[in-house]
Homo-oligomer: A and B are copies of this chain.
Amino acid sequence: MIHFKAIGKVMGALLMLFALMMLPGAGFAYYFDTGDFDALLQSSLITFSFGSIMFFSFSRQDQNIRKREGYLIVSVSWLLMSIFGMIPYLLSDLSFGISDAIFETISGLTTTGATIINDIEAAPKGILFWRSMTQWIGGLGIIVLTVAIFPLLGIGGIELFVAESPGPTSDKLHPRIQETAKRLWYVYMGLTILAGVLYYIGGMTFYDAVNHALTTLATGGFSTKNASLAHFTSPFIHYTAIIFMILAGTNFTVIYFGLTGKFAKVWKSDEFRTYISVLLILALGLSAPVIYYSGQGVEKAFRDTLFQVVSLVTTTGYVTADYTSYHSGLTMVFFMLLFFGASAGSTSGGIKFIRHLAFFKNSWLEFKRIVHPRAVVPLKINGDRVTGKIITHIMNFLLIYLMIFTISSIIVSLMGYDLLTSFGAVATSLGNVGPAIGRVGPMDNFAFFDPFTKIFLSFIMLLGRLELFTILVLFTPYFWRAN
């Protein structure tokens, strides 16, 4: 028996909080008088009413939340936020179809940042703020998940590498999860405010600065400008975005260590060192051909390259240059970045370095195992031994990720889109990035897709955001049969 009442209570509380998050958008709508105040206020009231009814209906229940309820809570909470998060779009003057509203909301909550809005600057400012807020909520949600919930559920094999999980390979940030979550929340909040201040100093309006701060820390990538960050020509703003995207893609535990002066612990993280090194190597290595093919000045070409590399690897998806305009080989390289993902325990999506690292290290050791078949050749990460069970789980994750990518690409192409567009749209949705290649390149949007494909891609975003297994396990008999 699944304890549905326990789930209902948690969901009710979540929806009430979610409703409150709609109010700042209403505030901007009122201030700018952009005509979307009513839509946001009504949405908030509707959501709050539903939430409070659910919460109080089940408030006297005494069911426990076990592992199985944990899976359902994660999936259902993202689903409920998607449903109620659509309401502002549907009540606004934007002529969104249902599939448009589903896409934009899920693209927000999953911090993907793909959009179906053709003219972003013409959209009412309150709604746009809500759009940025969905990403910030999603980013916060994923931090809570990776710190508090995934370790308990054993999702994706990286549970041992994120903050608060039990087991020998984890650095205990703080003994109690609740306390940890609070500290990570301060880090998230603090960095968001700092990014906003710097954007403001760099010349953004207060409104733009807040929006971009929210979507930077969420590695979300929604912008209030049609041209994304290419709209702002200030190098200061670009470098600010680069630094904060890198931070947002760092394990928040590692950031916390950094803030408290424990630099040895920061550098001990194999994932962090790999992440920073790969970003540097890619930016430096790709700058030369970009300088050559773009014909721009050295600083601008380097900045563009660094920006695009960081934006794609951290799965943010901001754009300051069209990386598909240089050379088809370079386009391929940038396309491959959609499969990177930054760090576990960050807001970034995708595969993430810890899994790549486990795969590469294990592959190398596999040769040693071939040459010395009787030797015991263990895989070590952060100096600690990784069990065979976790290696298997991580490699399974990688293969299932690629299989979902493949099958989904076929499905999208069967809907009549060309191969590159299909590959691109799926890769960027699954990795929660935003831009891609083909007809969904960095200068395009997703408005032209048919309703089925929009909803399908939204589902792919959710799959990616929740590390595949959280959702997929619900489709197996094991889950429903277990007691």
Contact = CB atoms under 8 A, between A and B. Distances in A.
A282 B369 CA distance: 37
Contacts of A410: 329, 332-333, 336
Contacts of A478: 367-368, 370-372
Contacts of A359: 396, 399
A406 B382 CA distance: 28
A413 to B, nearest CB: 4
A469 B370 contact: yes
Interface centre among A155, A410, A482 (most CB of B within 10 A): A410
A183 interface: no
A371 B482 contact: yes
Contact of A473 (B332, B335, B370, B414): B370
Contact of A332 (B155, B368, B413, B472): B413
Given A332-B419, A392-B392, A363 B413 contact: no
Given A399-B359, A420-B419, A367 B476 contact: yes
Contacts of A269: none
B420 A420 contact: yes
A472 B422 contact: no
Interface centre among A154, A367, A415 (most CB of B within 10 A): A367
A409 interface: yes
B396 A363 contact: yes
Interface string A403-420: 000100110011111111
B417 A328 contact: yes
Interface centre among A68, A154, A333, A414 (most CB of B within 10 A): A414
Nearest to A387: B388
A154 B370 contact: yes
Contacts of A372: 478, 482
A331 interface: yes
Interface string A138-173: 000000000000000111000000000000000000
A288 to B, nearest CB: 13
Given A336-B406, A420-B420, A370 B328 contact: no
A367 to B, nearest CB: 4
A393 interface: yes
A363 to B, nearest CB: 5
A328 to B, nearest CB: 5
A476 B476 CA distance: 41
A205 B92 CA distance: 74
A154 B413 contact: no
Interface in A351-382: 359, 362-364, 366-373
A135 to B, nearest CB: 28
Contact of A328 (B364, B367, B419): B419
Given A366-B393, A367-B469, A399-B399, A413 B336 contact: no
Contact of A391 (B362, B392, B406, B414): B392
Contact of A396 (B331, B366, B393, B402): B366
B399 A479 contact: no
Contacts of A243: none
Interface centre among A155, A359, A392, A437 (most CB of B within 10 A): A392
A41 to B, nearest CB: 42
Given A328-B418, A359-B399, A363-B400, 15 more contacts: A155-B370, A327-B414, A328-B422, A329-B413, A332-B414, A363-B399, A367-B469, A367-B476, A367-B478, A372-B478, A388-B392, A395-B395, A395-B396, A395-B399, A399-B399
30 contacts: A67-B371, A68-B371, A153-B370, A327-B416, A328-B416, A328-B419, A331-B413, A331-B419, A332-B409, A332-B413, A332-B414, A332-B422, A333-B410, A336-B406, A336-B410, A362-B396, A366-B393, A366-B396, A366-B469, A367-B469, A367-B472, A369-B389, A370-B469, A371-B473, A371-B482, A372-B482, A388-B389, A391-B392, A395-B395, A402-B402
- Report the 4 A-B pairs with minimum CB-CB distance, sorted nearest first: A329-B414, A395-B395, A329-B413, A332-B413
Interface of A: 67-68, 153-155, 327-333, 335-336, 359, 362-364, 366-373, 388-389, 391-393, 395-396, 398-400, 402, 406, 409-410, 413-420, 422, 437, 469, 472-473, 476, 478-479, 482
